[in-house]
Amino acid sequence: MPSPAPVVAGRDHTAQELYDRVAALGPSPFSIEQRTRALDRFISLRSGREKPGRFWRVDFESVAPEARAIDLSAANVRVENNDPAIFVCDLATAARESPELFARAFGTTGIAATKFGSLAAAFAQCGVFVHVPADRACDDPVVIRYTAPAGAAIFPWSIVLAERGARVTIVERLEGGAGAFLCGATEVVTEERADVHYAALQQVDDGARIIWSRAARPGPEARMSWASAELGGELAASDLSVSIEAPGAEANLTAIFFPRGSQHVDVVSTVEHRAGDATSETIVKTAARERGQARFLGNIRIAPHAQGSDARLRDDALLLSPTAHVDSVPALEIGANVVKAYHGATVGAIDAEQIFYMESRGLERGAAERMIALGFFEPAIERFPTAALRDEIRASLAAKLS
């Protein structure tokens, strides 16, 4: 496993190598100038994921790909889509053949303004554009799979445009071999009354690193659901954000993560209520065992004019080993006065009374603990689309518990 290359402001040797790689990239989906500016931002911006304590093993300020690992041809992108009315293509094709549609979504969520969103933009070299026409309801999920070979660094970019009244479910599968580095972005635009359910299942190798930024902008009375299960990776960081700019919108954010061994997971959720009379519900379930570390930052911001907002945030963490560590940091900024805002959080071990109750029904202690821990995740698992995906997540969590 190569150690992360240090990157500091200015063009030191490592940074110069990254600029050299950018210069060699093509102009799609970002121009070379845009890429260079994005790399500038990556190098100069702070991550917003400062080390909260000395026990923290990961310093996000120094996380960067190795320039020589950046391989434009390495990413394997596969899409399954059974609905001919849904238009799916790579980004260059979308920009060339449907520039007006592409422009309605691409780059409109502000995702490239953050440190790692900028890194994804600087090297974005593969991706998928999904366009769901107005009033089209698709029951079969569109499945997008990004795979990074061992040791390679890849930078996928997914874009979804759901037009007025459209409904679609998208499952993004993220895979990578040992030593892989994945830095991606997903942008979703749901126009008026559209309904997008986007689930990400991250199962990269335990020796890989993955950082993904996800941002959505629901229109009036539109619904946007993010559901993310971060199950693999030596280092996994995920941003889930929704910016509500129109009334009547509904945002549902769900995250599951479970670091074990020496895994480190860092999830940030952000719901911006910029328009009133909209609802959001964030549910996060974290477990950690062995030396696993996790941090959750849950942001809810309600603008002063966003009266009638209803925002809920619930995060629970289960510590399964004395050496595991979970930080849960809710941050509610409420500018309006006619709102409902709820936050609840728990961090703790499995309750001894629950274990005894199950043991008294004949279940062995280990089986009881596994059942309780799986049950702990269940309210979040139930928010993922498709029974098959839910079962897959249950099986994956069960394997991490055994």
Q: Which stretch binds other proteins (CB under 8 A): 146-154, 236-244, 249-257, 364-372?
A: 364-372
The smaller minimum CB distance to other proteins, of residues 108 and 354, is found at 354
Ramachandran area for residue 291 (φ above 0: left; ψ -120 to 50: alpha; else beta): alpha
Work out whether 394 is an interface residue with other proteins (CB under 8 A): no
CA 289 from chain centre, in angstroms, equals 22
The smaller minimum CB distance to other proteins, of residues 12 and 378, is found at 378
What are the residues facing 269 on neighbouring strands?
240, 298
Q: Which two tokens stand for residue 69?
A: 């690992």
- Which of 360, 387, 399, 402: binder of other proteins (CB under 8 A)? 360
Work out whether 45 is an interface residue with other proteins (CB under 8 A): no
Site for other proteins, residues 329 to 358, rule: CB under 8 A = 351-354, 356-358
* Alpha-helical segments (H) within 84-129: 91-97, 99-105, 115-123
The smaller minimum CB distance to other proteins, of residues 99 and 379, is found at 379
Work out whether 379 is an interface residue with other proteins (CB under 8 A): yes
Phi, psi of 368 (to 5 degrees): -65, -45
Question: Closest distance between other proteins and the C-beta of residue 310, in Å?
Answer: 21
Q: Which stretch binds other proteins (CB under 8 A): 143-151, 210-218, 230-238, 375-383?
A: 375-383
Q: Which stretch binds other proteins (CB under 8 A): 31-39, 53-61, 307-315, 365-373?
A: 365-373
Q: Which stretch binds other proteins (CB under 8 A): 93-101, 116-124, 286-294, 366-374?
A: 366-374
Are 309 and 341 in contact, with CB atoms under 8 Å apart? Answer: yes
Cis peptide before 6 (omega within 30 of 0): no
Q: Which two tokens stand for residue 309?
A: 């907002």
Question: Closest distance between other proteins and the C-beta of residue 346, in Å?
Answer: 11
Are 257 and 267 in contact, with CB atoms under 8 Å apart? Answer: yes
Work out whether 69 is an interface residue with other proteins (CB under 8 A): no
Query: How far apart are alpha carbons 221 and 163 in whole angstroms?
Result: 12
Query: How far apart are alpha carbons 1 and 32 in whole angstroms?
Result: 30
The smaller minimum CB distance to other proteins, of residues 13 and 361, is found at 361
Work out whether 229 is an interface residue with other proteins (CB under 8 A): no
**Residue indicated by tokens 């309750």:** 351
Q: Residues interacting with other proteins, by CB under 8 A?
A: 351-354, 356-365, 367-368, 371-372, 374-379
